[in-house]
Amino acid sequence: MTATTFAEAQAWIVSVGRWLDGKGWAPATSGNYSARLDDGSFAVTVSGRHKGRLTPDDVMRVDAAGASLDGKKPSAETALHLALYTLFPECGAVLHSHSAANVGLSRAAYAGSYSFAGHEMLKALPGNPTHDASVAIPIVDNSQDMAVIEAAIAPRLLAPGAAPAYLIRGHGLYGWGKDMAEAERVIEAVEWMIAAELAERSFRG
């Protein structure tokens, strides 16, 4: 886990917002990003801000209970970020993307997870040294109540060998890592594998 100063987190979050928006993974004002700070608080995106046009003023601080420390309104999904920091003390950053591909996959007729097997990109996931593996990404039903999502997904994320990522059905992808660079790598790897699976299905007909 890498904790950081608020100024460093602001710069990282502004940068990652532009990157995700450039990929088409943050349409409208969707998505939210966070980082663990070295004083025990958390930097999170302010609610309702376009992620491709973030400035440092669009990043705020909350305490471990999700209460604003600077009078700004945090993203509605801040509770899901904080749940991950609680579950994984080594976690230093959390990202949430909304690509059409990940939403489409989560809405398709799959049960509680989708498995990726044989992809070279599996090696981008922490703790997975080979393509010769199968990794299941959990899919949890959406809810306007963050506590419902948290209760449904937490036991599955703690299972042995679980990947640092999950999908909310019809909503988007969460990925995290020890720092922002690792969280970016997780999100990009899972998004790439989803796109590759769709391409394979298209070629197979």
Q: Mean pLDDT in each 10-residue stretch from start to end of the chain (205 residues)?
A: 82 97 94 96 96 97 96 93 97 97 89 93 93 94 96 95 96 97 98 95 83
pLDDT at position 202: 84
CATH (one of 3.20.20.70, 3.90.1150.10, 3.40.50.1820, 3.40.225.10) for 6-204: 3.40.225.10
Positions at the binding site: 96, 98
pLDDT at position 43: 98
Residue 56 tokens read as 């440092």
Q: Is 130 left (phi over 0), alpha (psi -120 to 50) or beta?
A: beta
Instruction: Give residue 110's pLDDT.
Output: 76
Q: Are 5 and 38 in contact (CB under 8 A)?
A: yes
CA distance 20 to 97: 7
Residue from 79, 102, 127 nearest 193 by CA: 102
What single DSSP character describes residue 194? H
CA distance 92 to 13: 12
Domains of the chain, residue spans? 6-204
- What's the confidence (pLDDT) of residue 6? 96
How many C-beta neighbours within 10 Å does residue 154 have? 14
Binding site members for Zn(2+):
96, 98
pTM of the complete model: 0.95
